[in-house]
């Protein structure tokens, strides 16, 4: 397949559907969600659908058939199906780095080239046959990474912890704070520990500093032979081997797989050690099922495309600046952090893929917290604040645990109640009818018309988790294709990295010039005692 011309060369407002949507947006608030449901009894059934094993309900969004039709037209006019097909086919879609984006290829059947090597290592650890320098079996795996080398695998490990091998301790650490790597190693036996340094470039300062600390810790416990205690996942194997890591324990990460899209790659080694190769394969299969849906379903019934279009509707036409993601499953408590990187790093762009300025807003702020914790934290703003913030409510039908049968139905009742309250609110008349003192009626009324999407997983299985992750990945790519931006680069993180090197020298005693940061540098030195 040859590359098609990029729609980024033409602003999205040039699409005929854009003007139609602008006109529809002017009237979007004229009909409340209450009225939409009252006038359309089949709305909930019509505006929902399956993708893999997931059930997605977008009926509480401020849309009707006319809006959805115009959004579908916009997707076609902006070549979204073609862009997704090119991505799935391995054609270059990352122009600033001259690369394809092959994360979907990793989870196709037999697509992950290093799977067998990962599986052999993971099986040996789980069976107790993989030994360290002293002959002791490896019983702990510590993953050192940051960003995509950490957030996705750590999230998945938390979500699938109920499948973890009882005799294998798997830990993840990312912060440059020395306390973090110390906590990750605390209580472990160096003779029984494998450290996995996960860095695409194998130059990431946070990971390299943590690796130096971890190798010092290992040497103190087992001596200088670390050939069975350190593994690496990288797109530059030569740099890992130059650090003395055994080539047999260096796993390749394709440079066409971005970190935030790398869960289904060798970056999942520590996760595989925890849950086993079969469960990891199920995770890949779940992701692949959504990849196929993206490539095969028409726009009107393509769930990741529809969700991406709804995001564009909110951001470009209705003025929403944020998206809240609230999982009603404790195992998914790290999902919002993973999605923050996935969506904000992909969509936080102010120029189109061809380098021209974008003509309107792009990525929204993504935030979230688990279920009832979130309700008692930021839901006050969601219900009665002055900003309208779309919300994703993610639930699981069959729980991992439900002591006394007293927890899960009540937990999910909260999800359904929040969807209802956000959408329909409570009028002042209804509030007064409850006997509310007149002076408090305005305070206790709820405006409603706060949009939400409900995503239901049948259970927190590897396959369902893979489907959920892929759903958000493709939803993100769809938004980028509409706006004409490149979702696969992240140049915005580079400047801070470069400046940090200079400031590290200053904090270590370098000459402080007359510059804006000078007072802070001097005060830091005083407080540090240097």
| Candidate list 39, 407, 443, 497, residue with the active-site label | 497
Specify whether the CB–CB gap between 273 and 122 falls below 8 A: yes
Kindly give the pairing relationship between strand 452-459 and strand 391-398.
parallel
Q: Cα separation of 509 and 177, whole Å?
A: 20
Nearest to 263 by CA among 476, 469, 53, 54: 469
Q: Is 191 helix (H, G, I), strand (E, B) or coil?
A: helix
Catalytic residue of the set 39, 162, 376, 443? 376
Tokens standing for residue 402: 């439900």
Q: What is the DSSP string of 6-37?
A: PGGGS-GGGSHHHHHHHHHHHTGGGS-HHHHH
**Active-site residue, 376 included:** yes
Rounded Cα–Cα distance for residues 335 and 330 (Å): 10
| Rg of the Cα atoms in the chain | 25
Tracing tokens 């007359």 back to the chain, one arrives at: 514
User: Hey, which bits of 78-126 come out as E strands?
Assistant: 92-94, 99-100
Positive or negative: CA dihedral 140, 142, 148, 151? positive
Task: Please state the φ and ψ torsions of residue 502, each to the nearest 5 degrees.
Answer: -65, -40
Question: In the Cβ-directed half-sphere of 361, how many Cα atoms lie within 13 Å?
Answer: 16
Active-site annotation holds for 349: no
288 is known as an active-site residue:
no
Q: How many CA atoms lie within 13 A of 42 on its CB side?
A: 2
- Whole-angstrom distance, CA of residue 124 vs CA of residue 70: 54
Q: Which one is catalytic: 150, 345, 349, 474?
A: 345
d(CA 269, CA 273): 6
Please identify every residue annotated as catalytic: 345, 376, 497
């Amino acid at each position: 397949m040859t590359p098609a011309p990029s729609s980024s060369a033409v602003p999205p407002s040039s699409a005929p559907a854009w003007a139609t949507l602008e006109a529809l947006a002017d009237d979007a608030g004229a009909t409340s969600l209450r009225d939409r449901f009252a006038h359309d009894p089949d709305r909930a059934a019509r505006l929902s659908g399956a993708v893999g094993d997931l059930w997605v309900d977008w009926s509480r969004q401020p849309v009707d058939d006319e809006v959805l039709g115009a959004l579908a037209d916009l997707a076609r006019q902006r070549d979204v199906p073609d862009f997704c097909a090119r991505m799935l086919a391995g054609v270059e879609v990352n122009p600033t780095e001259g690369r394809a984006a092959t994360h979907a290829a990793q989870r196709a059947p037999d697509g992950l080239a290093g799977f067998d090597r990962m599986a052999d290592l993971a099986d040996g650890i789980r069976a107790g046959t993989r030994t360290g320098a002293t002959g002791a079996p490896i019983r702990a795996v510590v993953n050192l990474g940051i960003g995509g080398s950490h957030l996705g695998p750590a999230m998945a490990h938390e979500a699938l912890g109920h499948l973890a091998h009882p005799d294998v301790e798997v830990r993840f650490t990312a912060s440059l704070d020395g306390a973090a790597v110390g906590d990750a190693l605390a209580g472990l036996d160096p003779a029984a520990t494998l450290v996995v340094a996960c860095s695409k470039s194998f130059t990431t300062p946070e990971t390299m500093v943590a690796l130096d600390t971890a190798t010092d810790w290992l040497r103190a416990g087992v001596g200088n032979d670390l050939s069975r205690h350190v593994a690496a996942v990288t797109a530059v194997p030569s740099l890992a081997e130059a650090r003395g890591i055994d080539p047999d324990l260096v796993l390749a990460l394709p440079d066409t797989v971005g970190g935030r899209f790398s869960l289904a790659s060798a970056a999942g080694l520590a996760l595989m050690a925890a849950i086993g190769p079969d469960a990891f394969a199920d995770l890949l299969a779940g992701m692949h099922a959504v990849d196929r849906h993206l490539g095969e379903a028409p726009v009107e019934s393509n769930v990741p495309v529809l969700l991406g279009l709804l995001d564009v509707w909110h951001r470009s036409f209705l003025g929403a600046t944020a998206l809240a993601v609230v999982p009603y499953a404790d195992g998914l408590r790290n999902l919002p952090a993973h999605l923050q990187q996935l969506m904000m790093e992909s969509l936080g762009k102010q120029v189109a893929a061809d380098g021209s300025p974008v003509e309107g807003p792009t990525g929204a702020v993504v935030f979230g917290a688990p279920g009832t914790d979130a309700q008692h934290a930021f839901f006050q703003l969601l219900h009665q604040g002055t900003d309208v913030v779309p919300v994703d409510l993610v639930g699981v039908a069959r729980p991992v645990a439900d002591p006394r049968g007293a927890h899960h139905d009540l937990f999910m009742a909260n999800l359904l109640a929040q969807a209802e309250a956000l959408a329909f609110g409570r009028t002042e008349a209804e509030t007064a009818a409850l006997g509310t003192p007149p002076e408090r009626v305005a305070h206790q009324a709820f405006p409603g018309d706060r949009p939400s999407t409900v995503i239901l997983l049948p259970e927190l299985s590897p396959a369902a988790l893979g489907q959920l992750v892929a759903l958000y990945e493709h939803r993100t790519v769809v938004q980028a294709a509409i706006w004409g931006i490149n979702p696969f680069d992240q140049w915005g993180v580079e400047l801070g990295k470069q400046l940090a090197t200079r400031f590290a020298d200053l904090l270590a005693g370098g000459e402080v010039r007359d510059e804006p940061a000078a007072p802070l540098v001097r005060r830091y030195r005083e407080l540090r005692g240097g």
